[in-house]
Amino acid sequence: MFGWRGKILRVNLTKGMVYEEELNPQVAKDYIGGRGLGIWLLNKELDPHCDPLSPENIMVMATGPLTGTGAPTGARYSVMTKSPLSGGITCSNSGGKFPTELKRSGFDALVVEGRSEKPVYLWVNDGKYELRNAEHLWGMTTHETTNQLMSETDVKAKVACIGPAGEKKVLFAAIMNDRDRAAGRSGVGAVMGSKNLKAVVVRGTQKIQLADPERFKEFNRQILGRFNEEAKVTPIGLRINGTAGVVTATQNFGVLPTKNWQQGTFAGWEKIDGSELTKTYLLTNSACFACPIGCGRKTRVDELEFAGEGEGPEYETIYAMGSNCMVDNLAAVVKANYICNELGMDTITMGATIGCAMELVDRGYMKEEEVGRSLQWGDAEALVELTRMTGYREGFGDKLAEGSYRLAESCSHPELAMVSKKQEFPGYDPRGAQAMGLAYATSPIGGSHMRGDPAYFELFGIPKPMDRLAWKGKAKPTQAFQDHSAIIDSAGLCIFFTVRNLVEKDLEIAPTGVLEYMNAATGVNYTLEELAEAGQRIINIERLFLVKAGFTRKDDSLPKRLTEDPMIEGPSKGHVCHLDEMLDEYYAVRDWTPDGVPTPEKLEKLRISG
């Protein structure tokens, strides 16, 4: 096979066995790789009703056919499993150098099942593999683990590991690779911890064979030229301020979630904006493998109280830990971000859960005695301390470790958790960006902007501007963007490739750039229609898994705060998110029933076995 390696590595932790199997070429074509291959495997092998933290759960780490090929942003892999946070499917995506090293070690994917009696790590070295004892690593931070495993294996090896949060099964624990890159959402780190798998260490020097190297090289030259020009003028200034620069845009549109989503603007926004991060704490930008953008931020804080050095924060972290908690102390936000990276936690859910706790205390639904300290809006010290306590499940951190939905539910006020399918939202209030609400509600993993991000056309005008406050007609472009995101994730590319290769016609988004790369790399010779159909196939099989797990239309929901309480101030004042109206249209566009179930005819057309 070209592009793909043609091999899957199976790891049975209960039996202590590791063995190879071949990747079916037809499955590879139909599901591409990465996210698509992961959901195909889970739908085929996993009981949707299993306990996510039981040995019966399966975890798939999968690269795409463009991972490690040199395609711009071709440095991603996906972790697929059943989520302990939502109880449904999840797909957590990460970049850096680890995904390329995994692919070059000889495998397209790892499939992990069972549970080891004692902590272990997996060492994969150019097609050779073994499970090794990891008892000496248990309790280490992700940085300590990475350093230790590189010294034990190969200084050029790449490490994906969990920290104390994953070991203690924090429901939003992350898997961290390359020290500070995160497969962050939905608790994939908790699943890894439940299996007593501390880390996966990979070293790969094998070249990835391409079907048409010259065609690939020429197309790469064209795209890289376009990247270099557009990176200078892109609306979100990724090369200059990273994703943190989005703060300015969301504030100006009145969709910057503030005070646990009670508001859409934050008075202290300039103190936490990307330009302030760049001016005050930036050491240098950083890039994943084969990325011409370099949106990563290497930062350092020298203030004694919050001193540290690491990577980040991203925009989503700044919203969740900053405006959402009314914290305008950027040093504290950066420090809390470092703690999440080192202990292995999702910064979005962490910040959103602390914001929810602040509101519960503010409204008198929870006593400060339960928290063990004072907890008020804007408390920077509390933000940092509670983040650390959560990673170790210490004191009140044990409750925060369950996420905002379970925390609010324990106080009899689940409506104060800003979630869909029990997963916290990224930083775009759908009262001022209607399609984002539809995307959150219908995301297969719960609140997410990475399963399709309509903010691009609603806020940034890519591929063309759309009225952000209108809800009619939003179903079709949202569906198209979700399908396209499925292709991007499965190919092993980054979402920032997507926005430079969108072709819009009659509300359809065509994956033209991906098509050129896929055909030059794999030699499969997809038609544009076949590749677009693969995106639909992935979305529909994810939906099928959710249906089997008991999810219904009622789970495609948003909190009443967003659908019933008009925005109280700012550019989006007076608006609510019209989810129900958009849902009916969306299901029709998808050829699903009015309850959101893929029809037998749709599944047959996409060649999906129920």
Question: What residue spans define the domains of the chain?
Answer: 7-203, 239-423, 434-605
Calpha distance 513→534 (Å, rounded): 15
pLDDT above 90 for 491:
yes
DSSP 153-205: S-TT-EEEE--HHHHTT-TTB-EEETTTEEE-STTHHHHHHHTTEEEEEEE--
Among 52-56, 298-302, 498-502, 558-562, the range scoring the smallest mean pLDDT is: 498-502
| pLDDT one-digit tens code per residue, 76-97 | 999 999 999 999 999 999 999 9
Q: Is the pTM of this model over 0.85?
A: yes
Calpha distance 181→459 (Å, rounded): 27
As a CATH number, domain 434-605 is 1.10.599.10
pLDDT above 90 for 498:
no
What b/e sequence results for 454-490 when a residue is b if at least 16 CB atoms lie within 10 Å of its CB, and e otherwise? Answer: bbbbbbbebbeebebbebeebbbbbbbbbbbbbbbbb
As a CATH number, domain 239-423 is 1.10.569.10
Q: Quick one: pLDDT band at residue 223, thresholds 50, 70, 90?
A: confident
Superfamily classification of domain 7-203: Aldehyde ferredoxin oxidoreductase, N-terminal domain (3.60.9.10)
> Averaged over 474-483, what is the pLDDT?
93
Residue 131, phi then psi, degrees to nearest 5? -90, 135
| pLDDT one-digit tens code per residue, 298-342 | 999 999 899 999 999 999 999 999 999 999 999 999 999 999 999
